[in-house]
Amino acid sequence: MDKGLELHDVVISKGGAPLLAISKSVASGEVLTVMGPSGVGKSTLLAYITGTLAPDFEAAGRIVLDGHDITDAPPHARRVGILFQDDLLFPHLSVGANLAFGLRVGGTKFERQQKIAKALDEVGLSGFADRDPATLSGGQKARVALMRMLLSEPCALLLDEPFSRLDAALRAQVRELVFARAKARALPVILVTHDAEDAAAAGGEIVTLVPI
């Protein structure tokens, strides 16, 4: 069984007109960077992989993750994690409860709390479990969002311009953190960006989508 995320002859079109075509595979721990002008359908590609494509698009081609064809699986059963440019922390839950939402079912209450505390330690946010996410800084929110996603134990990670809202100093720091955590878990990563620095930092193959 091949580890990694494979896109076999994926073609996405809108109203019969093809929008983008891509056929690539991303091995465990590797990063594939997808670049291109806005409106070319980068985010649409990610929506197809997460299973949340809007109904006005048509798509063909298979998505295979760790040897399983997930093309027709419902979004919550795909084990594909995603981070957006907004942190999208659930505003009604504390930081700890946000992480608990992501954490896989199982374990005693104590064990779960331990795991959450450890995840917060890992990104330098010890003791933040009871905080209201709205009171966190941008960089802190981004780190919580990352750990929440990783605690759900995804088999692949999609990044939809996740660093574009952060200022320059923070940006490099968060970017490094995300890539390091993904690498440590040997996740295949697809990064969508139009920032050349992001692409360089990712260090992997770069494909540029062009309007077709």
- Minimal distance in Å, beta carbon 210 to other proteins? 26
Q: Could you list the residues that contact other proteins (CB under 8 A)? A: 47, 50-52, 54-55, 74-82, 84, 86, 88-92, 101-102, 104, 132-135, 148-149, 152, 154
* Cβ nearer to other proteins, comparing 69 with 132: 132
Q: How far apart are CA 132 and CA 15, in angstroms?
A: 43
- Minimal distance in Å, beta carbon 65 to other proteins? 13
Give the gyration radius of the chain's Cα atoms: 17
* Cβ nearer to other proteins, comparing 92 with 109: 92
- Minimal distance in Å, beta carbon 212 to other proteins? 25
Collapsing DSSP states into helix, strand and coil, what is residue 198?
Answer: helix
Return the H-helix or E-strand segment holding 21.
strand 17-26
* Cβ nearer to other proteins, comparing 23 with 52: 52
- Minimal distance in Å, beta carbon 146 to other proteins? 12
- Read off the amino acid at residue 67: G
> What are the Cα distances from residue 43, in Å, to 34, 83, 194, 209?
10, 11, 12, 12
